[in-house]
Structure 1
Amino acid sequence: MTRISEQLVCHDRFNYVKAEIEAVLARARDGDPQLLAVIGPPRGGKTKVVETFLNEHQVSASGRTREILSVVSPKHLTGRALPDACLASLGMATEMFKNQTTATDAFIKVVKRSGTKLIIFDETQHMLERGSSTTVRAAADYLKALFDQTGASIVLVGLPALTGLFQANEQLADRARRPIEYFPYRWDGSDYKSFRSALAGALEYLLENSWETFDCKDSEFARRMYVASAGRYGIINKLFMEVQSLAGSAVNKVASYQEFYQAYEKTIIGRFIDFNPFDLTVEIKPEHMALVYMKVMQEVGVEI
């Protein structure tokens, strides 16, 4: 039996963000590069979208050389850190270049020569977390130079704090599209319906593999999972993976409240609520659902 982590549920948020990244790649191919930020809290699914996008294009882009580059933003921002991270994404030795200017020029030349159409920077908030105002401004200038000189679309992925780069450089802000907000599903309205649909996809995986578990339309389980995950699909996936691990090699696999209670106890640090949401002695109320959503957003500096 495959693991649930290998069975990606392409829910609404995921599909929308992935389509936006595909669109900026297509625009660059047509000679109209775009600069897009994708922002959201941890465990929302941002990195999974990027990984899936890259995996798909590794298969479909055979014959194109380095059309898409993925760069992990440096954790300690210095004048050389960002150019060196870009060079490393190409497998180039950073010590070959004596300063920031030569490293930057070399990266831009290779990108243009290789026909690169999209550069993705993940964990972009690192550029602001440990950088001074001078180095943050330099990072913003560097990104502006890449965008202007390479003809490639650029996607910046990370926590909402990354938008500080646009405050550090108004010219970079003027070149960028409005950020895509990969936020958790809200606890009400059409957003909650999308959350229910995402959860149903995970339950269907278990049901299709002969698990004894909840019906996809079970509203009580959905409310408890919402409080447990604060509307983030990454946490849904984490809990389902733990339930699958707890079952081990058992012939009759069960995913009931008991199993989800244990999974929550073992894997979740309950920062947003002071009880286990799968404890049936506790009644889940709408205010619990609203509370966890507001807390996860406040944690990353987004006012509700």
Structure 2
Amino acid sequence: MSSIAGQLIHHERFTTVHAVLQQTLERTRQGDSQIVPIVGPTRVGKSKLLARFADSVKSPGADPKSRKVVCVMTPKHLTSRAVIDACLLAVGMSPGLFKNHGEATHAFVRALNKHGTELIVFDETQHMLERGTSIKQRDAADLLKGIFDQTAASIVLAGLPTLLGLFQHNEQLADRARAAVEFYPYFWEGPDFGRFRGALAGALGFFAESGWQMPSAKDADFARRMYVATAGRYGLISKLLVEVQTLGANRRVALYPEFSAAYRTATQGRLIKLDPFDLAQSVELEHMALVYTQVMQEAGVRL
């Protein structure tokens, strides 16, 4: 049996943001390049979505060195050369070949135009605002603006919601950007909780197809417990189920004891003290609201 970690589950948050990326790519090909911020807390699935989208753009039989989509992991420590050096590495170029920031930037832009790059994805973009002076942050914003102005590519800026502070350092960059796309956890009640249960059902369906015995997303109490365990984040559903699959692999059975053990292994349990899979403890709406609120506050979102 393959791992749940490698499965692509089309849940509502995934399909909504994927559609935005597809639309961005189509507009780019029509000559209407975009700057699109995609923001959300950790473990909602942003990075996996971006990687899946980049892979989907590659046509069968395409050159493995194709640069239609370039993915840049933003470095944690901001220096005058850190961001552009990461850009060069993303297109297979050595930063050591270029004496200064200007030469490095020119080389990167030239490479993008040579390859006909359509989309540049900067992941963990909030790093451009961390541990750096306002001058370095303005330099980072200027770099993004310069790349956008000198190429035909669109730019996706993905990361924590705090990345939006980057636009405060460059009003010209802000004027070129669209409103942020929010990739937030599912809400704990109302229609959005129904979408969470749909996402959970999609993941559990992978196990059902392989003959596993485990709780169902149709069980409202189990769904609430899964919500508390994950704070409504699909990425954490996947992480938790990877552990469940490991623990129950021999018998293909995963009930509450296995989920409880997986929760202790896969998470720090820092959002809430109770074990959500301990049936001796009831899970209430206040617990669901608490974990959602804490995740959003950690991400820098004011509620």
Query: 1: distance between equivalents of 2:147 and 2:16?
Result: 26
Tell me, what secondary structure is at the counterpart of 1:146? helix
Relative to structure 2, which stretch is displaced further, 54-63 or 157-166? Answer: 54-63
What displacement does 1:216 show?
A: 3.3
The equivalent of 2:190 in structure 1 is 189
1:285 aligns with 2:284: yes
Query: 2: distance between equivalents of 1:94 and 1:239?
Result: 39
The equivalent of 1:104 in structure 2 is 105
1:153 aligns with 2:157: no
What displacement does 1:204 show?
A: 1.1
- Amino acid of the structure 2 residue aligned with 1:47: S
Query: 1: distance between equivalents of 2:245 and 2:293?
Result: 30
The equivalent of 1:270 in structure 2 is 269
What displacement does 1:78 show?
A: 1.2
The equivalent of 2:3 in structure 1 is 3
Query: 2: distance between equivalents of 1:50 and 1:60?
Result: 19
1:222 aligns with 2:223: yes
Query: 1: distance between equivalents of 2:292 and 2:66?
Result: 42
What displacement does 1:235 show?
A: 0.9
Contact 1:40 1:181 (8 Å CA) reproduced = yes
In structure 2, list runs of 5 or more residues that go unmatched.
Answer: none
Query: 2: distance between equivalents of 1:212 and 1:83?
Result: 50
- 4+ runs deviating over 4 angstroms: none
Query: 2: distance between equivalents of 1:288 and 1:75?
Result: 33
Check 1:127–1:60 CA distance in 2 against 1; reply closer, same or farther (3 A cut). Answer: farther
What displacement does 1:255 show?
A: 1.2
Query: 2: distance between equivalents of 1:80 and 1:61?
Result: 35
What's the CA shift string for 1:112-144, capped at 9, x where partnerless?
122111100111111111211110000001101
Contact 1:147 1:153 (8 Å CA) reproduced = yes
Check 1:9–1:242 CA distance in 2 against 1; reply closer, same or farther (3 A cut). Answer: same
- Residues matched between the structures, number: 302
Contact 1:5 1:237 (8 Å CA) reproduced = yes
Query: 2: distance between equivalents of 1:61 and 1:14?
Result: 26
- Amino acid of the structure 2 residue aligned with 1:213: M
The equivalent of 1:140 in structure 2 is 141
Check 1:238–1:65 CA distance in 2 against 1; reply closer, same or farther (3 A cut). Answer: closer
Contact 1:65 1:115 (8 Å CA) reproduced = no
Q: TM-score, normalised by structure 2?
A: 0.97
What displacement does 1:145 show?
A: 0.6
Please give the root-mean-square deviation of Cα atoms over the aligned residues, in Å.
1.3
Contact 1:204 1:216 (8 Å CA) reproduced = no
The equivalent of 1:260 in structure 2 is 259
Contact 1:184 1:293 (8 Å CA) reproduced = yes
What's the CA shift string for 1:4-39, capped at 9, x where partnerless?
111121100011111111111111111000000111
1:83 aligns with 2:95: no
Identity %: 52
Query: 2: distance between equivalents of 1:65 and 1:29?
Result: 16
The equivalent of 1:95 in structure 2 is 96
Tell me, what secondary structure is at the counterpart of 2:72? strand
The equivalent of 1:302 in structure 2 is 301
Query: 2: distance between equivalents of 1:236 and 1:117?
Result: 32
- Amino acid of the structure 1 residue aligned with 2:111: V
1:57 aligns with 2:57: yes
In structure 1, list runs of 5 or more residues that go unmatched.
Answer: none
- Amino acid of the structure 1 residue aligned with 2:141: A
Tell me, what secondary structure is at the counterpart of 1:156? strand
The equivalent of 2:199 in structure 1 is 198
What displacement does 1:276 show?
A: 0.5
The equivalent of 1:242 in structure 2 is 243
What displacement does 1:58 show?
A: 2.7
The equivalent of 1:167 in structure 2 is 168
- Amino acid of the structure 2 residue aligned with 1:12: E
Check 1:52–1:79 CA distance in 2 against 1; reply closer, same or farther (3 A cut). Answer: same
Tell me, what secondary structure is at the counterpart of 1:125? helix
What displacement does 1:60 show?
A: 4.7
